[in-house]
Amino acid sequence: MKIKGLTYSLLVASVLLGANVGFAQQGDVHLHKGNQDYAAKDYKSAAEEYQKALSDKSAAVQGKFNLGDAYYKQGQYDQAVEQYKEALSMTKDQALVAHAYHNIGNSLLSQKKFEESIKAYENALYNNCKDNDTRYNLAYAQAMLEHKKQQQKQQQQKQQDQKQNQKDQQKQNKDQDKQNKDQQKKDEQEQQKNQISKQDAQRMLDALNNDEKNLQDKLQKKKAVGQKEIEKNW
């Protein structure tokens, strides 16, 4: 989808104004020269000529309007809007007012200032309700604004999801740390338990060894007594 009627031709504006305003010779010369440079796509030179035309009050409105066009073509959108607004403040010509608002809308739209461009297009249609290019651009700006809002909504949702994922990860890490600590504590308790069991087993083994030794001693004593008795019988 492309913007239609990026700028109304300054030559059209010249005709409109020429029907109602008499130009002083010097202003007319600069406007004419500016229009020639504009047609040759030498927008910088055109802007310089339109600036010179502004010194002639009778050429000021058209000079400002066309200067706005020259700035627009150079991508100097803020300067273009300024010139269009100044032209608006100097004329009540409804057709020119509609054209100026249309071009203001395009300048703002080119900067992705969708809400402001929509208002400008609405003002243009208020002054010329039959302008299909303006109506088209208004619909385009509205669609772009809606798309921008959707993108912002998706970005916000993405940020919220990222925050939630971070919280979940932090909780998971915290739970894992707790599990590790619990397991470490359990392992230490088990280790202590095993150590106690080994000590008990050693004591039991020592006790058994002592019992066996005592039993061996008793057997040795009995054996010695039995040998003495046998010798005495002889």
Q: What is the mean pLDDT of residues 56-85?
A: 94
Q: 13: which residues sit within 8 A by CB, 6+ positions away?
A: 62, 65, 66, 96, 99
Q: Which of 124, 98, 27 is nearest to 67 (CA)?
A: 27
pLDDT for residue 19: 34
Q: Where are the domains of the chain?
A: 10-145
Q: Tell me the CATH number for domain 10-145.
A: 1.25.40.10
Instruction: Convert the pLDDT of each residue in 164-198 to its tens digit.
Output: 888 888 888 888 888 888 888 888 887 776 666 66
Asked if residues 66 and 10 have their Cβ atoms less than 8 Å apart, the reply is yes
Task: Judge whether residue 73 has pLDDT over 70.
Answer: yes
Check: pTM over 0.75? Answer yes or no.
no
Instruction: Convert the pLDDT of each residue in 82-113 to its tens digit.
Output: 999 999 999 999 999 999 999 999 999 999 99
CA–CA dist 212, 192 (Å, integer): 30
High-pLDDT (> 90) share of the chain, %? 51
Amino acid identity for residue 209 in this structure? N
